[in-house]
Structure 1
Amino acid sequence: MNRPTDIQLYVTPPQQCSYLPDREAVSIFVEPGTADNPIYSHLIRHGFRRSGEHIYRPACPGCQACISVRIPVARFTPSRRDRRCRKRNQDLVGHWLKGHYAPEYFELYQRYLAARHPGGGMDKTSPTQFRQFLLSRWSQTLFLELRLDEQLMAVACTDLVDDGLSAVYTFFEPGAESRGLGNYAILQQIDLARRLHLDWVYLGYWIENSPKMAYKRRFRPLQGYQGDRWRELPDEP
């Protein structure tokens, strides 16, 4: 097993930022082929994230807009919005399964990307790209299926790390947007973390000026990794 002291990091060349188009993005990556779940469990506590088998963290010169955020499970109290979300989705049945590829998942994933990211390149995907993005040989990945009777409504890809769960990606039926299935999936991840006696649900990166990431700030309390330490983020008004 690789130890955290053995980690080799590499820096990517600058490229256009996909979240803030007027800026350039630089990331640091763990050396390919050396990652495992203990290493990831160590690095996620230092603001890193997984995409497929690659572990990375933004390292953009002069920009700290990407903030890794996490929910302290023991202190989380559902808001009125959260309670309404649970009530809207009480007719769904959820099952936690080992992460894997299935044609049914991919069909829903295609519909979701076509509706949410039309013409941006993400909507042109393949089963191979699905596997490369959501799965890896070393991660302990779970899929939460949410079904209405037999219909698959949403899938939440979630990693199990030493001290918590990491929400990797959620995709859902585009016609059911009013249900708030993305938020509901996070509530289910918090519930599972409680049952497993885990401390955190990691939500990945939050950018204040990105409307697509605004939902993450609705979960309170919320911590952000800033200045090489986790700090409580102030509640939004």
Structure 2
Amino acid sequence: MSSLQTLIFYATPEHDCSYLEGKQATTMFVDPKANIDTALYSKLSVLGFRRSGNHYYRPHCNACNACIPVRLPVNEFKPSRNQKRNIKKNLGLEITTTPPDFYQKHYDLYEKYIIARHADGDMYPPSEEQYRSFLVESNPNTFFVEFKYKGELIGVSVVDELTDGLSSVYTYFDPDIAERSLGVYSILWQIEECKRRSLSHLYLGYWIKNCRKMEYKTLYKPLEYLINNNWLREEPTKTI
């Protein structure tokens, strides 16, 4: 079994940053041959690593530390007025969990979402192969959360269970019903699911101060930021 002490890491060559225009990025990956169990995955998450398919990674850029891992201590979270309204708005949804697998209805919704919301991103154009490698190839403790309205699938969240929390991997939803703000609701649901499972944190990935797409994460408080290998509650004033 692999451990933090025995892991081998690889860094990619510099490439265009997906989040900050004009910036170059480097990504550090865990050796894909390593055997990553839940305990080791949890330790990697505490160190700021994320999972994409079977790959575990974190930014490793020269002269830039804009990508900051963030997590939420769920037992201290108190929803804002807008978040309470969101919960009330979505009370009628049917929510179920399912094991990770390829479901055609999931992929059809994912394809629609990417085309509508991320046509300028790395995941466009969507394909079944890309979808499988990104979301279907998973960790043993991954589960899919289905959000349905009147029997119709309108959203899916991909979530990993860690020893100390849940890791929010990805959420996609029907762009035609944006008024439900399912991206917000999925996080609120995951916060409550952490509590139901007696887990302390929800890991939300990376926050980037100057990236509009990442701003929403600061709406969940108290947010913890990983700075110099310490989880701190004060938002960093300088990140690049």
Match in the other structure for 1:17: 17
Q: TM-score, normalised by structure 1?
A: 0.95
Contact 1:11 1:29 in 2 (8 A): yes
Contact 1:135 1:141 in 2 (8 A): no
Match in the other structure for 2:94: 93
Match in the other structure for 1:6: 6
Contact 1:35 1:55 in 2 (8 A): no
> Structure 1: which 5+ runs fail to align?
none
Paired letter, 1:132: S
Contact 2:71 2:205 in 1 (8 A): yes
Q: Secondary structure at the match of 1:18?
A: coil
Match in the other structure for 2:178: 177
What's the offset of the Cα at 1:179? 1.1
Q: TM-score, normalised by structure 2?
A: 0.94
CA distance in 2, matches of 1:99, 1:233: 36
- Does residue 219 of structure 2 align to residue 190 of structure 1? no
105-114 or 80-89, which deviates more: 80-89
- Does residue 94 of structure 2 align to residue 81 of structure 1? no
What's the offset of the Cα at 1:38? 2.5
Contact 2:111 2:126 in 1 (8 A): yes
CA distance in 2, matches of 1:120, 1:126: 14
Q: Secondary structure at the match of 1:81?
A: helix
Give deviations 1:79-125, integer Å, cap 9, x for gaps.
11110110111121111222221000000000000100225452322
CA distance in 1, matches of 2:145, 2:94: 10
Paired letter, 1:18: S
CA distance in 1, matches of 2:77, 2:28: 31
CA distance in 2, matches of 1:99, 1:73: 25
What's the offset of the Cα at 1:23? 0.7
Match in the other structure for 1:55: 56
Match in the other structure for 2:119: 118
CA distance in 2, matches of 1:132, 1:122: 12
CA distance in 1, matches of 2:224, 2:139: 27
CA RMSD between the two structures:
1.5
